[in-house]
């Protein structure tokens, strides 16, 4: 350590940042080749877009339902705007029948349908998880956090 304490402070900051990311979700940076689904391809092109509660556009950022709403609207499909409306108005699908483009729902705060993402494939989904992660990213349904909070699938 140097006399200014810079090394120890920087090291602590790096450890804090890394542990914060690991505890929120299983972040999987994905570089997919073209999918058969234009919805999924467009969603994947938005990886890294900022998180912003209440927003549904790439410039300002997205919250989870705003992300899903924007992706489908870009394909000419108008879906409900909120997570709960998406869950109650779309057709339920069994988890073992997941297809690319389906919506996956989670209870992350005590409300049955409090988070939504868009299923990609191979147990991966893309979503705008939180202000804490700060961006649109791909996570795994196999991650313990997402497994414990999973509540269902809906098909647009």
Q: Are 128 and 136 in contact (CB under 8 A)?
A: yes
> Exactly one of 21, 52, 64, 149 is catalytic; which is it?
64
For residue 21, indicate whether it is catalytic. Answer: no
> Exactly one of 52, 74, 99, 115 is catalytic; which is it?
115
Name the residue among 120, 125, 122, 119 with its Cα closest to residue 35.
Answer: 120
> Exactly one of 21, 74, 127, 149 is catalytic; which is it?
127
Strand 56-57 and strand 61-62: the pairing is antiparallel
- What's the rounded Cα separation, in Å, for the pair 118 and 105? 9
Q: For the chain, first and last CA: distance in Å? A: 56
Active site residue ranges: 64, 115, 127
């Amino acid at each position: 350590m140097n006399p200014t304490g810079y090394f120890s402070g920087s090291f602590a900051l790096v450890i804090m940042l890394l542990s914060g990311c690991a505890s929120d979700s299983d972040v999987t940076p994905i570089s997919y080749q073209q999918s058969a689904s234009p919805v999924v391809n467009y969603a994947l092109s938005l990886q890294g877009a900022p998180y912003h509660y209440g927003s549904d556009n790439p410039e300002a950022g997205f919250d989870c339902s705003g992300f899903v709403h924007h992706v489908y609207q870009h394909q000419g499909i108008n879906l409900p705007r909120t997570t709960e409306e998406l869950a109650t108005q779309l057709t339920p699908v069994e988890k073992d029948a997941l297809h690319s483009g389906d919506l996956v729902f989670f209870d992350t705060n005590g409300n049955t349908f409090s988070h939504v993402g868009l299923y990609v494939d191979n147990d991966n989904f893309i979503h705008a998880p939180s202000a804490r992660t700060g961006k649109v990213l791909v996570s795994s349904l196999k991650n313990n956090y997402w497994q414990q909070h999973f509540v269902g699938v809906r098909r647009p």
